[in-house]
Amino acid sequence: MLSSLTQSTNVARVAGSRQFSKSISPSALNNHHYNKILQDQKSLPVFDFFAQTKPKKSFVLGHGAAGFAKKRYTPVHTSTSHSSVSSQVGEDAYFRRADAIGVADGIGGWSETAGSNSALYSSQLMHFANEEMDRFEDIEDPCFLQYNEANPIDILKRSYEKSLSVAKKNNILGSTTACIAVLRHDELRVANIGDCGISIIRNNHYVFRSEEQQHSFNFPYQLGIKSRDEPGHAQSFAVKVKKGDIIIMGSDGLYDNLFDKHILELVKKHVLAHTIPGTAERAPRVRNLQPQILSDILANAAKEVSESRRADTPFQRRAMEEGLYVEGGKADDISVVVAVIKDLEDSPDRRL
């Protein structure tokens, strides 16, 4: 039972800046003053501490990768850490993890230049990009508090600065193209410079496909010690993703040899093999889709075409449009990373 209302003169204020200098009994207040207090109290904001806000959708990448070096005797080097996998495939390189993937393609045109090593540029760029992603998981790193703001352009820039420093220190020439994609909640953020590529397939249809950046035919934008291109010139995209989306990222060894429709046909066939037929009560469901198997399928298909002199390829068509005679597939390093959008089982907030 309310016996008195006590307000301190130096700290308490009722809405409307009403102050009391001493304790006042409700019975001593006239009806006007009492009703005024009730009205002021009703105007105060009410907080429901039991209300639940709808959390953001949070996903994770299930991933796999495959590749073939152009010089088949060149070994494919793969390293694995507790959170990621990275590989060197000839002059290509890539990394893959639960929240990001990346591919870089060292420019082979440097091969006849003394002191050049484009493979170093691609491998170092992917190595440092992977390290930059690790920073978002380190509670002692300032990036930990910027997890939701992760920007692939910034990651590309910092990674390139580090890789360029290594190249300059060792006086090594070369350059590379690159594509990096970062997953945050239900958004895939992409930075792409040059002729690597990324596409997103949903329900057996393309919902996104990046475009090449070319100065001229077979002369892509590239990052290197003598290149005028910079990370800031990269294309930037943000795409909303859904559970079950299939992300395909590859070097030009994939996209120069396989048309988008061919890639889609291979994806459809693989998805169909993992689809449980629907019933009158339930729609068809895709179960246990294996990104590693799909990356193997795509890489092998690109390799087969690259070794054929009779195949019709995207690279051949573009060359013919430029008045150049090119026959069949393009011999090149082939790197394919496949990721599938999956539910994040753990808390999406790493601070909880």
Of the ranges 156-170, 194-208, 245-259, 269-283, which one carries the lowest mean pLDDT score? 269-283
Written as six digits, the tokens of 297 are 């399928």
User: Quick check: 202 and 245 in contact, CB under 8 A?
Assistant: yes
118-135 and 152-169 helices cross at what angle (nearest 10)?
A: 130
Q: Could you tell me where the beta strands, DSSP code E, fall in the chain?
A: 59-68, 76-80, 84-89, 92-97, 100-106, 175-184, 187-193, 197-202, 205-209, 214-216, 219-220, 223-224, 235-240, 246-250, 275-276, 285-286, 334-343
Question: Does residue 28 carry a pLDDT above 60?
Answer: no
pLDDT at 195 over 50: yes
CA distances to 79, 197, 316, 322, 347 from 306, in Å: 26, 17, 11, 20, 44
Q: Where are the beta strands (DSSP E) in 69-151?
A: 76-80, 84-89, 92-97, 100-106
**pLDDT surpasses 80 at 349:** no
pLDDT at 46 (0 to 100)? 52
Q: Per the domain annotation, does 8 fall within a domain?
A: yes
| Shared domain check, 163 and 20 | no
Tell whether 64 and 24 lie within a shared domain.
Answer: no
Residue 282 pLDDT > 50 = yes
In a domain, 49, yes or no: no
pLDDT value of residue 66: 97
Q: Is residue 280 part of a domain?
A: yes
Identify each DSSP E strand in 256-301 by its residue range: 275-276, 285-286
Q: Are residues 75 and 144 in the same domain?
A: yes
pLDDT at residue 21 greater than cutoff 70: no
Residue 52 domain-assigned? no
What confidence score (pLDDT) does residue 68 get?
96
User: Does an H or E element contain 163, and which?
Assistant: helix 152-169
350 within some domain: no
Q: Is pLDDT of 352 > 50?
A: no
- Tell me, yes or no, whether 188 lies in a domain: yes
Q: Do 39 and 97 have their domain in common?
A: no
Query: What is the domain-level CATH number for residue 86?
Result: 3.60.40.10
Residues 169 and 246 both lie in one domain: yes
Closest to 220 measured CA to CA, from 238, 234, 200, 236:
234
**Higher pLDDT among residues 264 and 113, named by residue:** 264
How many domains does the chain fold into? 2
Is pLDDT larger for residue 34 or for residue 220?
220
Q: In the prediction, which pLDDT does 345 show?
A: 75
> How high is the pLDDT of residue 16?
39
Pairing between β-strand 219-220 and β-strand 187-193 as defined by DSSP bridges = unpaired
Residue-level pLDDT at 12: 38
Weakest-pLDDT range from 27-36, 138-147, 238-247 = 27-36
Phi, psi (5° rounding) for residue 180? -130, 135
Q: CA 316 to CA 208: how far, in whole Å?
A: 24
pLDDT in tens, 211-241: 999 999 999 999 998 899 999 999 999 999 9
**Which region among 2-6, 100-104, 108-112 has the lowest average model confidence (pLDDT)?**
2-6
**pLDDT band for position 344 (cuts 50, 70, 90):** confident
What is the span of the domain harbouring residue 286? 59-343
Q: Are residues 22 and 146 in the same domain?
A: no
> Is the same domain home to 73 and 222?
yes
CA angle 223, 224, 226 (to 5 degrees): 125
- For the segment 141-167, the average pLDDT, to the nearest whole number, is 96
Asked, for residue 227, whether it belongs to a domain, the answer is yes
| Summary mean pLDDT of the chain | 85
pLDDT confidence tier of residue 33, bands split at 50, 70 and 90 = low
Q: 113 falls in which pLDDT band (50, 70, 90)? A: confident
Q: Do residues 209 and 311 share a domain?
A: yes
Structure token pair of residue 89: 């495939």
* Whether pLDDT at 14 is above 60: no
Would you say residue 145 has pLDDT above 70? Answer: yes
Q: Looking at residue 73, what is its pLDDT? A: 73
Using DSSP, state whether 80 is helix, strand or coil.
strand
User: Do 246 and 271 sit in the same domain of this protein?
Assistant: yes
110 in the same domain as 248: yes
Residues 7 and 106 in one domain: no
Q: Are residues 27 and 79 in the same domain?
A: no
Q: Is residue 352 situated within a structural domain?
A: no
